[in-house]
């Protein structure tokens, strides 16, 4: 039996546009998913298309047990974390001999298959390697996380479906390219600007707010997300935006140490579930099997 765990992530900038080759920035966060894989003849598996696809892709049969600290379908990369931990556990249990980069690539493949052919490598890469990363097409760059990077998450408790939101954007691009393409381009420009302003929290907050406005224009906002985003900004956050596919799920707010508690209380007051978290620098790791 082999047990591996992988962290979730916050999508800091550039979600959706990253699917079309624009840059995206994500950061691994502390809550983790732990997966145990066992070579048995009685196959037991949770009902997850991501786990099923891991086994299909590697043409392997086995049992799986999952423990998750991450809310699912909430923009915190739980599907990617499950996929990464499952593939590493299969690789270990069945001695397949893939290296870390190869397993990260397989995880991206699984996400692409389960998301109807459209998925960036962001979630699976950051869950594998931890830290803060910039993804642009095939380019993957590790970023140095800024000092004083204090964030609060707010879960709207509205679950979303990543594949549906990704398809919605694809349909918009196909039907109205003259409107949708400039929005995607502008999100890409904001992400590059953010990469060059990581230590300037005021500017980063402004860029978050502009990124959010463009995500709303793409059609992936939700009234409950808007409510939490405005509550966080009014409570003194530098900026706030959704994380991940949108249409529900989580927001993240960038705070100073002084405003952190006020932002947590504001999210709570507006019926969100606040989650105080920090960066995970480790990525995927092997755990003791119980």
Instruction: List, by residue number, the catalytic residues.
Output: 123
Contacts of 179 by beta carbon, 8 Å cutoff, 6+ apart: 172
Contacts of 46 by beta carbon, 8 Å cutoff, 6+ apart: 64, 66
Cα separation, 224 vs 156, whole angstroms: 6
By C-beta, is 62 or 77 nearer to ligand PMV? 77
Task: Residue count of the chain, please give it.
Answer: 290
Binding mask 11-40 for ligand PMV (x = CB under 6 A): x---xx-xx---------------------
Binding mask 210-249 for ligand PMV (x = CB under 6 A): ----------------------------------xx----
Q: Identify the three-state secondary structure at position 143.
A: strand
Cα separation, 268 vs 58, whole angstroms: 43
Question: Which segment (72-80, 91-99, 223-231, 259-267) binds ligand PMV by CB under 6 A?
Answer: 72-80
By C-beta, is 130 or 244 nearer to ligand PMV? 244
Name which of 122, 115, 160 is nearest 250 in CA terms. Answer: 160
Binding mask 137-176 for ligand PMV (x = CB under 6 A): -------------------------x---x----------
Selected from 7, 23, 62, 75, the binder of ligand PMV by CB under 6 A is: 75
**Least spacing, CB of residue 75 vs ligand PMV, in Å:** 4
Q: Does 267 bind ligand PMV (CB under 6 A)?
A: no
**Least spacing, CB of residue 265 vs ligand PMV, in Å:** 26
Binding mask 80-119 for ligand PMV (x = CB under 6 A): ---------------------------------------x
Is-contact 79 123, C-beta < 8 A?
Answer: yes
Q: Identify the three-state secondary structure at position 33.
A: strand
Q: Give how many residues touch ligand PMV by CB under 6 A.
A: 16
CA distances from 276 to 143, 155, 255 (A): 22, 11, 11
Q: Cα torsion for 243, 247, 248, 250, to the nearest 10°? A: 10
Selected from 71, 77, 188, 248, the binder of ligand PMV by CB under 6 A is: 77
Query: What would the two tokens of residue 48 be?
Result: 């997850």
CA atoms within 13 A on the CB side of 149: 21
Question: Which segment (9-17, 94-102, 142-150, 200-208) binds ligand PMV by CB under 6 A?
Answer: 9-17
**Least spacing, CB of residue 78 vs ligand PMV, in Å:** 7
* Full DSSP string of 188-200: HHHHHHHHTTTT-
Q: How far is CA 60 from the centre of its chain?
A: 27
Binding interface with ligand PMV (CB under 6 A): 11, 15-16, 18-19, 75, 77, 79, 119-120, 122-123, 162, 166, 244-245
């Amino acid at each position: 039996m082999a047990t591996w765990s992988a962290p979730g992530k916050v999508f800091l900038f550039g979600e959706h546009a990253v699917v079309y080759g624009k840059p995206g920035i994500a950061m691994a966060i502390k809550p983790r998913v732990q997966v145990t894989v066992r070579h048995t003849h009685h196959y037991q598996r949770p009902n997850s298309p991501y786990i099923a696809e891991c086994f299909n892709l590697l043409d392997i049969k086995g049992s799986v047990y999952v423990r998750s600290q991450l809310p699912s379908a909430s923009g915190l990369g739980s599907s990617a974390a499950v996929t990464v931990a499952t593939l590493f556990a299969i690789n270990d249990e069945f001695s397949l001999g893939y290296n870390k980069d190869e397993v990260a690539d397989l995880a991206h493949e699984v996400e692409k298959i389960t998301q109807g052919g459209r998925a960036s490598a962001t979630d699976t890469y950051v869950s594998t390697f931890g830290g803060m990363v910039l993804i642009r097409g095939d380019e993957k760059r590790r970023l140095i996380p800024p000092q004083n990077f204090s964030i609060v998450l707010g879960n709207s408790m509205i679950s979303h479906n990543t594949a549906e939101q990704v398809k919605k954007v694809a349909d918009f691009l196909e039907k109205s390219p003259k409107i949708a393409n400039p929005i995607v381009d502008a999100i890409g420009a904001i992400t590059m600007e953010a990469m060059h302003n990581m230590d300037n929290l005021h500017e980063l907050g402004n860029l978050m707010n502009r990124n959010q406005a463009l995500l709303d224009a793409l059609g992936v906002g939700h009234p409950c997300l808007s409510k939490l985003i405005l509550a966080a900004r009014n409570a003194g956050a530098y900026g706030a935006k959704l994380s991940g596919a949108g249409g529900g799920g989580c927001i993240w707010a960038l705070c100073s140490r002084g405003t952190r508690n006020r932002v947590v209380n504001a999210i709570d007051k507006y019926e969100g579930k606040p989650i105080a978290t920090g960066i995970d620098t480790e990525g995927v790791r092997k755990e003791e099997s119980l």
